[in-house]
A and B are shown apart, each in its own frame.
Chain A
Amino acid sequence: MTIAVDVDLLRQHRLVLLAEADEIERGSCLDPPDAGPLTAVTAEALDGLSQRAGRPAGHARELADALERWLGVAHATDGEVGLGLDLLTAQVLAL
């Protein structure tokens, strides 16, 4: 028994995940505006958002790495993976 795996598609997914992580991280570097007495409050809110944006970016990178590991371990060059290996390796893809 085997499971179906589109190796090329998953490799594309990995690249997409890395690209999205890069984009989000680039966009989350925010210069706080000069808001007068509210400058500190504003800077704190923007800092919180940057940290928040860092989480999905980091997770996207983790998932991309996990996909790479999974594909490496599975040796799925023929597009099919055995059920035993599937059960053993599935958790590597969990966030």
Chain B
Amino acid sequence: MSITAVGRSIDVGLDADPASFMRTATALAALAETCEQAALVLGRHAQLDEGEFGGLSGIVYRSSSTLLEQGCGRTGRRSRRLAEGLTAFAQGMTEVRRRLDEAVAVAAPHLDVSDGRIWSPLRPAGPDDIVTAQGWAAWREAVDRWRAARDLEDQVSQEWVRVVGRPVLFEGAER
């Protein structure tokens, strides 16, 4: 979009709700903690002494406890990764919102800001038209800030997609 085009607008809305990300991230961190604690407990079960549970039954029980420990550990790590990714996503989107608000603050004194959009001035500035010239200056700065915000939104979104799309192949690996 040419920033000197007349009658254009930029969308300063943000669909995502950072507060709801943080709630889910907190729940994910709690699940990670639960799974990690369970893995610790099951790890102790897996080391039960022969004198407390001997024979083949004891061996099978320790083996099953080890499998459970590993399963809880994997789920805990996955949950922790998602919690951290979602927290970063929330923080990123909060920064996007802040930058969009800055664009609005720059534009508001000089331009039409309505319906979640900032509108360009309606005509080019003439040589002596100070008000319209100020409007165009505000428009250019608002567009620059808006572009920076949308670039950040794109980066943050791509990073979150990378986190949720991490191949299952790596799930068993330590972080």
Identify the stretch in B61-69, B110-118, B128-136, B138-146 within 8 Å (CB) of chain A at 4 or more residues: B61-69
> CB-CB < 8 A to B78: which residues of A?
49, 52
Contact B15 A90 (CB under 8 A): no
| Residues of chain B at the chain A interface (Cβ within 8 Å) | 14-17, 20-21, 23-24, 27-28, 30-31, 34-35, 37-38, 41-42, 45, 48, 50-61, 63-65, 67-68, 71-72, 74-75, 78-79, 82, 86, 89, 157, 160-161, 164-165
List A contacts of B23 (CB < 8 A).
31, 33
Name B's interface SS: helix
Report Cα–Cα, A95/B65, bound state, in Å: 9
Of the candidates A5, A10, A23, A56, the one whose C-beta lies within 8 Å of that of B75 is A56
Partner of A31, one of B27, B30, B72: B27
What's the least CB distance linking A31 to chain B, in Å?
6
Q: How far is it, in angstroms, between the C-alpha of A6 and the C-alpha of B49 when the chains are bound? A: 10
Would you call B17 and A38 a contact (CB within 8 A)?
A: no
- Provide the bound-state CA to CA distance between A10 and B55, in Å: 14
CA distance A59 to B127 in the complex (A): 78
Query: In the assembled complex, which residues on chain B have CB atoms less than 8 Å from the CB atom of A87?
Result: 55-56
Interface of A with B (CB < 8 Å)?
3-6, 9-10, 13, 16, 20, 23-24, 27-28, 30-38, 41-42, 44-46, 49, 52-53, 55-56, 59-60, 63, 66-67, 70, 74, 81, 83, 86-87, 89-91, 93-95
- State the Cβ distance, B88 to closest chain A Cβ, in Å: 13
Cα distance A94–B65 in the bound complex, in angstroms: 9
Give the complex CA separation of A27 and B30 in angstroms: 7
Q: Which chain B residue shows the least CB distance to A67?
A: B61
Nearest Cβ in chain A — how far from B157, in angstroms? 6
Q: Is the CB of A70 within 8 A of B57?
A: yes
Contact among A3, A27, A35 for B58, CB-based, below 8 A: A3
**Pick from B34, B67, B89: contact of A24, CB under 8 Å:** B34
